[in-house]
């Protein structure tokens, strides 16, 4: 297995939420890993073990209509074939269900389907590593509802429809979102924990999600892959620490509140002050 890919999507400028779509396969400095939908690395066993600890309520597939069933089957066929092609050692005979495959990859998965009337819904959800949200509440809901808590993102129906169209009709794309945590727990479901609190003597972690959208326009659906990475502050370079500190300092109040960074802001900035980076 290869070493974990490394992504640092923070710009040394004022923070704002944005789609930030890149063509899938864009080189971010990780070689062949940037061209893989399912990245398998030295942490694979840890991820799979952690996935086994989550509640079954976080995994669900809807088949309320023939269109939903066709969409889920098309995505499942693609997932099985792609996992087998990318990692034949792990998936020589891929599992028959989305749950079976999701339990053995490091990514979380969501399938979005658009009906003939233009409305959309999450018709398959398999999310083990949420970042302070409840996967069990989004099955059957639309894109705008799912992203409603995110300030400045999918704030109206037109914007939500445009983003859903980008996922279903174009791509594949890759984008990144990030936040900061006081621990390296993968599972930040609101009911998980307790989690370590921020402390001047503790360690901080940059939590990055690599989000990949795979279009299936022939069945009006898209697959959404979410891979979580955790990087300790001590592993960041001086330039990365500086960029991250600026992003924290300039983050609008609504965004900081959404990410839970208002109260611990000063502790985070202190932890980001320059120091020697650890060996990778």
* pLDDT tens for the 280 residues of the chain, in order: 688 999 999 986 666 666 689 999 999 999 999 999 999 999 999 999 999 998 999 999 999 999 999 999 999 999 999 999 999 999 999 999 999 999 999 999 999 999 999 999 999 999 999 999 999 999 999 988 888 777 766 667 788 888 899 999 999 999 999 999 999 999 999 998 789 999 999 999 999 999 999 999 999 999 999 999 999 999 999 999 999 999 999 998 988 999 999 999 999 999 999 764 444 4
Tokens encoding 53:
């600890």
Q: Going by DSSP bridges, is the β-strand pair 59-61/221-232 parallel, antiparallel, or unpaired?
A: unpaired
Which of helix, strand or coil describes residue 109? strand
CA distance 92 to 94: 6
**Cα–Cα distance between 254 and 252 in angstroms, integer?**
6
Contact 219, 232 (CB under 8 A): no
Place of tokens 């808590």: 149
| Tally of helices (H runs) and strands (E runs) in the chain | 8, 7
Contact between residue 221 and residue 111 where contact means Cβ atoms under 8 Å apart = yes
Q: Name the pTM for this structure.
A: 0.92
Instruction: Identify the three-state secondary structure at position 84.
Output: helix
Could you please report the per-residue DSSP string of 186-250? S-B-TTS-PPPPP-TTS--EEEEEEEEEEEEGGGTEEEEEEEEEEEEGGGS-HHHHHHHHHHHHH
- Asked if residue 18 has a cis previous peptide bond (ω within 30° of 0), the answer is no
What is the pLDDT at residue 17?
63
The tokens of 51 are what?
């996935």
Closest CA to 19 of 155, 126, 175: 175
């Amino acid at each position: 297995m290869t070493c974990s890919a490394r992504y640092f999507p923070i710009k040394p400028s004022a923070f704002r939420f944005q789609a930030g779509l890149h063509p899938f396969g864009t080189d971010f400095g990780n070689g062949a890993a940037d061209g893989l939908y399912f990245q398998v690395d030295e942490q694979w066993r840890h991820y799979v073990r952690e996935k086994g600890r989550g509640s079954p309520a976080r995994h669900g597939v809807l088949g309320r209509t023939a269109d939903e069933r066709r969409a889920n089957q098309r995505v499942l066929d693609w997932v099985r074939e792609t996992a087998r092609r990318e990692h034949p050692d792990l998936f020589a005979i891929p599992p028959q269900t989305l749950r079976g495959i999701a339990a053995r990859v490091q990514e979380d998965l969501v399938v979005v389907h658009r009906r003939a009337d233009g409305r959309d819904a999450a018709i398959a959800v398999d999310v083990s590593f949420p970042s302070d949200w409840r996967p069990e509440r989004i099955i059957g809901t639309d894109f705008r509802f799912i992203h409603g808590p995110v300030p400045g993102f999918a704030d109206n129906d037109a914007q939500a429809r445009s983003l859903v169209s980008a996922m279903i009709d174009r791509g594949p794309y890759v984008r990144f979102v990030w936040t900061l945590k006081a621990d390296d727990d993968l599972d930040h479901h609101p009911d998980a924990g307790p989690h370590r609190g921020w402390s001047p003597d503790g360690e901080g972690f940059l939590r990055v999600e690599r989000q990949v959208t795979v279009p299936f326009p022939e069945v009006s659906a898209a697959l959404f892959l979410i891979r979580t990475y955790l990087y300790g502050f001590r592993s960041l370079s001086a330039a990365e620490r500086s960029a991250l500190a600026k992003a924290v300092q300039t983050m609008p109040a609504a965004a900081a509140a959404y990410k839970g960074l208002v109260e611990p802001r000063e502790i985070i900035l202190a932890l980001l002050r320059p120091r020697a980076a650890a060996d990778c």
